[in-house]
């Protein structure tokens, strides 16, 4: 069963706008990862944030993690048409096989030129 | 550096047929896994391996077998295909073998399987 759940399921914006996607999860985690999937392709890793971190940046991407609320957000600033893709969060727990990333259902982002 | 290579890209099977989906990685990753992706369901873990000779079941293992005889290869076998196994299958690998050493997954480009 999915650990993380992304919100919204779909997001449509204009080029240049910011896009924010959220991920909520249920149990304690060791780390949370965000991935991008372009149509017909495999997933590509974007950012990994550990449970003791609150914020990470990578280029136009900003990820926050609030372990007290069991939630994370992915912000894409100044979006481009090439950012059109599905975005997934994956959570990894503690102990046993729970370190294996568990994926949510994803947010489908469309950026209109 | 090829990364994770999956073959074939597309496959059509009749119910009851068997086949093997191939996955190979050239990054010397200890961890390898198979996921299936269905519309509205996200990715679900089928089987995984933390090293040669070691495999374990994921969330949806029924109807699938795996083996890991080498570090590089992790084939997924469908012994008797069913229409419910129509899906896109992804192989992924990483250095991760424990939560303390979590590292990103590297994915192949998938195999689209249709079972009629």
CA distance B37 to B41: 7
Token digits of residue B80: 């008797």
Residues near A51 by Cβ (< 8 Å), separated by ≥ 6?
A: A28, A29, A30, A31, A32, A65, A67
**Cβ contacts of B59 on chain A, cutoff 8 Å:** 1
> Which chain A residues have any C-beta within 8 angstroms of a chain B C-beta?
1-2, 30-31, 33, 35, 40-45, 48, 50, 88, 90, 92-95, 97-106
**Nearest-CA distance A87 → chain B (Å):** 10
Would you call A1 and B59 a contact, using CB atoms and an 8 Å cutoff?
yes
**DSSP string over B53-88:** TEEEE-SS-TTEEE--SSSSB--EEESS--GGG-EE
Digits of tens for pLDDT over chain A (113 positions)? Answer: 457 788 999 999 999 999 999 999 988 888 899 999 999 899 999 999 999 999 999 999 999 999 999 999 999 999 999 999 999 999 887 655 556 788 989 999 999 99
Beta-carbon count within 10 A of B58 CB = 19
pLDDT of residue B95: 85
Q: What is the pLDDT of residue A37?
A: 96
Using the CB atoms, write b or e for B62-95: b if 16+ within 10 Å.
eebebbbeebbebbbebeebeeebbbbbbbbbbe
Whether B66 contacts B75, CB under 8 Å: yes
Mean of all residue pLDDT scores within chain B: 92
* Interfacial residues of B (vs A; Cβ cutoff 8 Å): 4, 33, 35, 40-45, 48, 56, 58-59, 90, 92, 96, 98-100, 102-110
Is residue A68 exposed (0-12), middle (13-18) or buried (19+ Cβ within 10 Å)? exposed
Structure tokens at B7: 């073959």
> Would you call B107 and A43 a contact, using CB atoms and an 8 Å cutoff?
yes
Name the residue facing B98 among A35, A48, A99 (closest C-beta): A99
Query: To the nearest whole percent, how much of chain B has pLDDT over 70?
Result: 93
What is the mean pLDDT of the segment spanning B40-52? Answer: 90
Yes or no, beta carbons of B99 and A94 under 8 Å apart: yes
How far apart are the C-alpha atoms of B7 and A107, rounded to whole Å?
27
Q: What residues pair up with B113 in beta bridges, in sequence order?
A: B11, B87
Tokens of residue A60, six digits:
């136009």
CA dihedral A101→A64→B4→A111, nearest 10 degrees, is 120
Quick check: B107 and A44 CB within 8 A? Answer: yes
* CB-nearest partner of A100 from B45, B103, B106: B45
| Mean local confidence (pLDDT), B34-38 | 96
Q: Write the residue in B40, B59, B107 that is nearest to A42 by C-beta.
A: B107
């Amino acid at each position: 069963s999915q650990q993380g759940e992304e919100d919204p399921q779909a997001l449509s914006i204009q080029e240049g706008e910011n896009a924010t996607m959220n991920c909520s999860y249920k149990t304690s985690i060791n780390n949370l990862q965000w991935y991008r999937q372009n149509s017909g392709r495999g997933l590509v890793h974007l950012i990994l944030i550990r449970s003791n971190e609150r914020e990470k940046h990578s280029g136009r991407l900003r990820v926050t993690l609030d372990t007290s609320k069991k939630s994370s957000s992915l912000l894409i600033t100044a979006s481009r048409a090439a950012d059109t893709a599905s975005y997934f969060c994956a959570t990894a727990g503690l102990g046993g096989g729970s370190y294996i990333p568990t994926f949510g259902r994803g947010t489908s982002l469309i950026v209109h030129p | 550096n090829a990364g994770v290579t999956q073959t074939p890209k597309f496959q059509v099977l009749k119910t009851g047929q068997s086949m093997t989906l191939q996955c190979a990685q050239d990054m010397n990753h200890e961890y390898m896994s198979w996921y299936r992706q269905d519309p509205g369901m996200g990715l679900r873990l089928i089987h995984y391996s933390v090293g040669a000779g070691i495999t374990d079941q994921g969330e949806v293992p029924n109807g699938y077998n795996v083996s890991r005889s080498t570090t590089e290869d992790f084939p997924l076998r469908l012994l008797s295909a069913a229409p419910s196994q129509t899906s896109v299958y992804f192989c992924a690998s990483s250095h991760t073998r424990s939560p303390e050493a979590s590292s990103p997954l590297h994915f192949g480009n998938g195999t689209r399987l249709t079972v009629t």
